[in-house]
Structure 1
Amino acid sequence: MAGKVFKKIQVVGCAEKSFQDAIEAAVGKAANTLKGMSWFEVRELRGALKNGQVVEWQATVEIAFKVE
């Protein structure tokens, strides 16, 4: 039987400067333990506030990897 199978996991990346940094943190950390990563989907963006100021950018990311 031909075809590919992928599994997706969900992680949350956090950063002090931007959503892009938060996404890259999530993908970068996952790359340390996952092999065969193929794509990611940003599911949610949010931030943390302190005294009315943004102190953290957060991105919920689904990462797909090939099942061997």
Structure 2
Amino acid sequence: MATVARVTTITSRSTKSFEDAAREGIARASKTLRHVSGAWIKEQKVDVTEGQITSWQVTLEVTFVLED
């Protein structure tokens, strides 16, 4: 029996760190998508105000296994 997976792109933002943005993104995706099996960070971005980082953003490619 073969396993078939799908990949979807999501974006998540945090006021703490890239790691927190990724963690929150995976947690949120897992509420909607079943069988999340992995993710990779496709892009990272920061927002800056007056020379200070105000938020960290990640674009994630989330992999989930399709059900039969």
TM over 0.5: yes
Residue ranges of structure 2 left out of the alignment (5+ in a row) = none
Q: How many residues align structurally? A: 67
**TM, length-normalised to structure 1:** 0.93
Percentage of matched positions with identical amino acids: 28
2:31 corresponds to 1:32 = yes
Find the residue that maps to 2:24 and give its secondary structure.
Answer: helix
Q: 4+ runs of 1 displaced by more than 6 Å?
A: none
Find the residue that maps to 2:32 and give its secondary structure.
Answer: coil
Find the residue that maps to 1:25 and give its secondary structure.
Answer: helix
Residue ranges of structure 1 left out of the alignment (5+ in a row) = none
**TM, length-normalised to structure 2:** 0.93
Matches of residues 14-53 of structure 1 in structure 2 within 5 Å? 14-53=13-52
